[in-house]
Structure 1
Amino acid sequence: MGDSYRLPRIVLEASSSKTWDAAISEWHVTGCRDNGDASGDCLCGHEGIRYEFTIKNSVNGNELSPIGSTCILKFENDELKNEVEGWRAAIKLLEALEARRPDVRLDGMNRDLFSRCLYAFLYEKGAFPPNRYNGYDGRNDYEFMVDMFNKRTAPTEKQRAKMYMVLNKSIFPWLVLFGRELREMRL
């Protein structure tokens, strides 16, 4: 990293640890703002970022924002990388949901929009609430959707109906609420 790249210095100053390798393990993503027109600026000085992340230090509670997704990936921390990919995938799915184009399948199995990682991210963020249909355990719906995604044969009518319900009663409403929060943050 060149001398002009400011992020390592900023992260180290806000960390408890004083070496880069130790400091990067202290941070986790606490939020993401979709700056759709890519007009944001990263703390490092990069201009034109779309995804503005907030990261928080789990040791001392310090927060840094906005951090661009490219800079977060420079942390070379798998947990942070998965968070970035989860936020990006959720935003992509939200955009597809809002567009509702007839040529785009929103059935939970479209590999352009859905993935095991996205389902894990959605589960961690609370998009699978407990209800009477999942035995009051959202993990059951999460595991069902992953099983359907992994399926090599077409789902049965009953499975398709359950997928429809999980998508339309849990995942999509969560995404719409998530989208509203993103827009409010952008104002």
Structure 2
Amino acid sequence: PATLLGSGKVAEFADIVKERKAELVIVDHPLTPVQQRNLEKELNAKVLDRTGLILEIFGERARTKEGTLQVELAHLNYQKGRLVRSWTHLERQRGGAGFLGGPGETQIESDRRILQDKITKLKHELETVRRTRDLHRAKRKKVPFPVVAIVGYTNAGKSTLFNRLTGAGVLAEDML
């Protein structure tokens, strides 16, 4: 379907969105790029599906250089698959005069190329960060102290345990 939902449900949700002045609608179902665009038009609000929401949350919480690069890369890959022909008014499909030049780029081709260039750049940056991390890891292995990792679910008390053991002041608050 063009919007995932029937026209009656879309109209019902549009009324709710308008009534509550909602700027964001989250759909707990994967949406195709066309469905997302159509829902945004009908609801007059930004629409996120589950994957989009997860990427937004990860983007907010990523703290390390590697983490932020990974989230940005995932976000660009997600966006790349969601470019749809909504830019028809910006067609650039024109050739040059006479034998000069061939057909130009359409806006969607230009957007895809720009996204692909960013993705390539991010992959190189990520590789540099990984090489640096591997060098640091190799140096740590030469130190005669054991390395310990604390893992667990959100709000399980990892930061509190770490603070008690080390006296460090790591942020420990309710993240739910």
Q: Which structure has more helix as a fraction of its residues?
A: 2
* Larger RCO of the pair (alpha carbons < 8 Å, separation 6+): 1
TM-score computed with the length of structure 2 as normaliser: 0.28
Larger radius of gyration: 2
TM-score computed with the length of structure 1 as normaliser: 0.27
